[in-house]
Amino acid sequence: MDINKRNRTELKQYFEQGDQPTEQQFSEFIDAGINQAEDGIAKIQGAPLSIQAEGDSAGSQEVLDLFSKFTDDNPKWSLNLNPTVDPQEPDSNQEGLNIKDATGQSRLFIKSGKGDVGIGTIEPTSKLTIQGKNDTSLLSVIDTTQQHAKVFEVTQNQGNGIVSLRSGENEEVVRLNGKKDATSFLLTRLGVGTNTPKAALSILGTGKESDPDDALHITNRSILFGGPNVGRSEASAKIIAHDSNTLRIMGMSSDESSSTRKVDIFSEGGMSVKGNMTAKNRLDVDGMLTAKTNMQVQQNLTINGNITAKNRLDVEGLVNAKTDMEIQQKLTVKGAMTVEKRIKIPIDQIVAFSVSIKDNNLSGVREPVVFDHVNYNHGNHFNNNRFFIAPVKGFYQFTMTISPPNNSSSSSFCVWQLKLNDTGFVNENDEDNAPAEVGEIAVLRARFATHSCSRTVITQLNAGDKIRIRQTGSSSPDNYASGFEGILLQALT
């Protein structure tokens, strides 16, 4: 900037003793000073210094230029009012106070009225708006140590915002990335409802645990799911560490009744249960089910894959197994059972029994015969010393043996009949025109003038069929030497 003015030393030379200053010299003396009326600077006694801006009020108005030296072409900093967004359009001015640098770029702007502050912009959209011209770091807070670590920083990458929180050693502990597929992380413990988190995520509180709404509710002991669960039963779609020392997983209801709750478990690679398992309703499994301890189903059980019960399996309803079924201890089914492939029973769980009578005074009709002496009862399917109940569908072999007592007469006799389900003989033909003699294959007659006699019967039974012996005759068989035996030869599907 060119300032064509005399300095004070030069002006003083015009007024030395004996000099007669000319009109031109008086003019230079007057022009060297500041005139409040012409120069836009006023100082009224009792009031602060006032500066009047240069320029039309419809556009930008310049107030103050700061130079390193007046010989520079442009000021280092300038202060102006109502800067324009587009210099080619005077009407685009923004009312406020602006500080700009030597390039004319706004560095700090305070908007009139609202007081919004813009850094790098004269168009703030909030109380503080920071606009970076391709700058990575937009905002930072530096600690007071000599490391000057940026403990808090807002940056951007290709227009996507990043918020970082760092330690005093400048280690980035928290990052929140504004881009959906970019990395965000939290490398510390987060507490919700507590200021002393004990894990990566600690939640402490007693929030909502029933009556689901549209939100997901997490407390320190439960998760109550929302979304489609809204308005369902009180305890629908919930996982809770219950006071009964159990972890409860409650299925989602279809209405306001808890009786409609369902749980679907998709485990194509198999499902293993290492503790006892009880299903108080139906249990349907599309894959493999393995229970390493007791398993109880109080209604129907349907398995579309393999089933392995390494302990007991008790089913109150129907059983439908699409593939192999293996029971390593006891299987109890109170309804029908369908197995489309094999039933595997370990060697130590063979279905077999051997029983005998220990009282030889069982003459006349006995319905059913009581076998008080049990030699063995593998699988415990001979019940109450009277009945054998088939655990699975298959081929079974039964043997009846009658031995005469020592005091028997030649006219005495004893008859044992192998009965099925209280309806007829084993292997009896149910056709209406069948002769009555077909039942003889399940009847053993012993005349005590002869030696001991026996009969073996092989028959096919369904799971749950009941076998017993009915006795008639004038005498009784001998104790211990007369008995009843059975074994499962082959399970069927």
pLDDT at 308 over 70: yes
pLDDT at 435 over 60: no
For 269-306, the DSSP string reads T-EEE-S-EEESS-EEESS-EEESS-EEESS-EEESS-
Is the distance from CB of 3 to CB of 65 less than 8 angstroms?
no
pLDDT at 328 over 70: no
pLDDT band at residue 366 under the 50/70/90 scheme: confident
Q: State residue 403's pLDDT score.
A: 85
- Name residues whose C-beta falls within 8 Å of residue 458's C-beta, 6 or more positions apart in sequence: 395, 396, 397, 398, 489
Q: State residue 477's pLDDT score.
A: 83
Rounded to an integer, what distance in angstroms lies between the CA atom of residue 124 and that of residue 130? 8
Identify which has the larger pLDDT, 362 or 195.
Answer: 195
DSSP class of 292: S
For 186-197, what is the mean pLDDT? 89
For 130-145, what is the mean pLDDT? 82
> Average pLDDT over the chain, rounded to whole?
83
pLDDT band at residue 193 under the 50/70/90 scheme: confident
Lowest-pLDDT range of 133-137, 317-321, 366-370, 435-439: 435-439
Amino acid at 312: R
- Name residues whose C-beta falls within 8 Å of residue 332's C-beta, 6 or more positions apart in sequence: 312, 313, 314, 315, 391
Is the distance from CB of 246 to CB of 255 less than 8 angstroms?
no
For 233-253, what is the mean pLDDT? 91
Q: Which of 353, 354, 351 is nearest to 332 (CA)?
A: 351
Lowest-pLDDT range of 290-304, 337-351, 362-376, 459-473: 337-351
pLDDT at 361 over 90: no
Q: Which stretch of DSSP H or E encloses residue 30? A: helix 23-31
Rounded to an integer, what distance in angstroms lies between the CA atom of residue 204 and that of residue 217? 12
Q: Kindly report the CA angle at 151 between 150 and 155, in degrees rounded to 5?
A: 60
Lowest-pLDDT range of 23-27, 171-175, 179-183, 309-313: 309-313
Query: Which residue has 């009843």 as its token pair?
Result: 484
What is the percentage of the chain residues whose pLDDT exceeds 70? 89
- Kindly tell me the sign of the dihedral angle through the C-alpha atoms of 256, 257, 258, 263: negative
Q: State residue 329's pLDDT score.
A: 66
Query: Which residue has 């159990």 as its token pair?
Result: 246
Query: What token pair was written down for 139?
Result: 């905002």
